[in-house]
Chains A and B, each alone.
Chain A
Amino acid sequence: EVQLVESGGGLVQPGRSLRLSCAASGFTFDDYAMHWVRQAPGKGLEWVSGISWNSGSIGYADSVKGRFTISRDNAKNSLYLQMNSLRAEDTALYYCAKAALKLRPLSYFDYWGQGTLVTVSS
């Protein structure tokens, strides 16, 4: 059974940093691209960042470019999101999502974690 478990969320002051983690199990982690998607309270889904299976291709939404860094450790079946210079508008539930297609750059998402809540407030 595929499982994605996010952690690392919490309350943080504006300008500070936070690192999110996503522990994956139930599939061959290093065969699939992975993504972070966020959802502000009462709002829609916003893609944040994605990383290919071998970390060779990485992308960011314009809203987080230069502040957030995605990475993965295939030996640990883990995905990360380093978030620096946090702003109030980064407050959201952050989901980890798995690409559906093995070793394919263009893919939709077939599994999502339950999310970890990040609140940026003084």
Chain B
Amino acid sequence: DIQMTQSPSSLSASVGDRVTITCRASQGISNYLAWYQQKPGKVPKLLIYAASTLQSGVPSRFSGSGSGTDFTLTISSLQPEDVATYYCQKYNSAPLVTFGPGTKVDIK
């Protein structure tokens, strides 16, 4: 089974900072990688799919990159409303999917 890891597990940054979260797959998954944002007490929200395609309505400060085994989610300028836990998800083996363990983002 392909395992997903994320780093860091948590981070604290200042408003306006550039934030980067890494997701790694234990085997290549092409670009079958999505990112979700889950704010406290809320339902997960799709941010990015196909590793780098921004979901409609998501602010352009969010971006994704990568292919194969290494992926990144970048927030170009952290805003207070971005406080959340971010999960990567691989979906290259239907109907099985796997989520990463999550990265919790706080404001310093």
Residues of chain A whose beta carbon lies under 8 Å from any beta carbon of chain B = 33, 35, 37, 44-47, 50-52, 57-59, 61-62, 95, 100, 105-110, 112-115
| Number of residue pairs spanning A and B whose beta carbons lie under 8 angstroms apart | 71
Given A35-B97, A100-B49, A108-B46: A45 and B87 within 8 A (CB)? yes
Question: Which single residue of chain A is at the shortest CB-CB distance from B1?
Answer: A62
Q: List 22 A-B contacts (CB under 8 A).
A: A33-B94, A33-B95, A35-B95, A37-B44, A44-B87, A44-B102, A45-B36, A45-B99, A46-B99, A50-B95, A52-B94, A59-B94, A59-B95, A95-B44, A100-B49, A106-B32, A106-B94, A108-B46, A108-B49, A108-B89, A110-B46, A112-B43
Q: Is the CB of A47 within 8 A of B87?
A: no
List B contacts of A33 (CB < 8 A).
Answer: 94-95
Q: How large is the interface on B (under 10, 10 to 19, 20 to 34, 35 or more residues)?
A: 20 to 34
A108 pairs with B43, CB closer than 8 A = no
Which chain B residues numbered 40 to 61 have a C-beta less than 8 Å away from chain A?
A: 43-44, 46, 49, 55
CA distance A51 to B91 in the complex (A): 13
Q: A44-B100, A95-B43, A109-B36 are in contact. List 11 more A-B contacts (CB 8 A).
A: A44-B101, A46-B99, A50-B94, A59-B95, A61-B96, A100-B46, A106-B91, A106-B94, A108-B89, A112-B43, A112-B44
Interface set, chain B 82-108, CB cutoff 8 A to A: 85, 87, 89, 91-102
Known: A100-B46, A107-B91, A108-B49. A47 touches B97 (CB 8 A): yes
CA distance A45 to B102 in the complex (A): 8
Collect the chain A residues with CB atoms within 8 Å of residue B36's CB: 45, 109
Residues of B within 8 Å of A106, CB to CB, are: 32, 91-94
Q: Is the CB of B95 within 8 A of A52?
A: yes
